Amino acid sequence: MTTVTHVRNATLALLQEHLPGELQRQRDALDSAVMDEWLREPRTWKRLPTYTNLAIDQSPAVVVASTGLATTPKRRGDGEIDATWRVNIFAAVRGPGYEETTDLLGVYLGCLRSIMLRHRIDLYGSKRALLMGESFDSIDHDASRSIQGGAVAFNVPVLHIEHDEGPTREKDPYGVEATSRLVTVQRLEE
């Protein structure tokens, strides 16, 4: 059986695996002293039902939140149930000033968005996430000179949510994941 907790955990694991490399690529590409100093890996990673305010000293921070299903689950003709969860990924960043912090937040959200769109979470039956929106926290300019937050929202479809213990030979004999550059096929243990 797949639950919202599985979806949150798998999303967090995906981000923890890929975000450090993505941030480094951005630092290298942007060639900016501000980005080199302030575009860091998260100090805080959290999985929560909804977003909560984080203390400034916890930034940069990433929160994976989901209140549950985005749509009504659907039963297919073969009896299998498919569901789609809404996943919101929040980021809080800190920078030296308002404009630099705004730029940092944009790069951070771009990295999170890119990871979710290019990779599939490691969860039986999951499909690639669908981007549903991106927003920036509306903090007063004077109050938020050095910290800002924003979020990217996704729908994460998962097939066969009522399963026994993950992939089986009958349903999915190969773990297949495709990216734009590489297709990996791995035989599952029998």
Q: Does 138 fall in a domain?
A: yes
DSSP state for residue 27 in the 8-state scheme: H
State how beta strands 44-48 and 61-69 pair. parallel
Q: Does 183 fall in a domain?
A: no
Tell me what pLDDT residue 34 has: 81
Q: How far apart are CA 27 and CA 41, in angstroms?
A: 11
Closest CA to 79 of 166, 171, 155: 171
Q: What is the CATH number of the domain that holds 53?
A: 3.30.2000.30
Tell me what pLDDT residue 190 has: 42
Q: How far apart are CA 177 and CA 189, in angstroms?
A: 17
Tell me what pLDDT residue 33 has: 85
Two structure tokens written together for 68: 């549950």
Q: Which domain holds residue 92?
A: 4-163
Are 83 and 68 spatial neighbours (Cβ–Cβ below 8 Å)? no
Q: Does 168 fall in a domain?
A: no
Angle between helices 98-118 and 4-30 (to 10 degrees): 120
Tell me what pLDDT residue 163 has: 62
Tell me what pLDDT residue 120 has: 92
Tell me what pLDDT residue 70 has: 92
Tell me what pLDDT residue 180 has: 31
pLDDT tens digits along 14-68: 999 999 999 999 999 988 888 888 888 998 888 876 665 555 557 788 999 987 8
- How many CB atoms sit inside 10 A of residue 167's CB? 15
Residue with the two structure tokens 């951070």: 108
Residues of the chain with pLDDT under 50: 165-190
Number of domains in the chain: 1
Q: Does 171 fall in a domain?
A: no
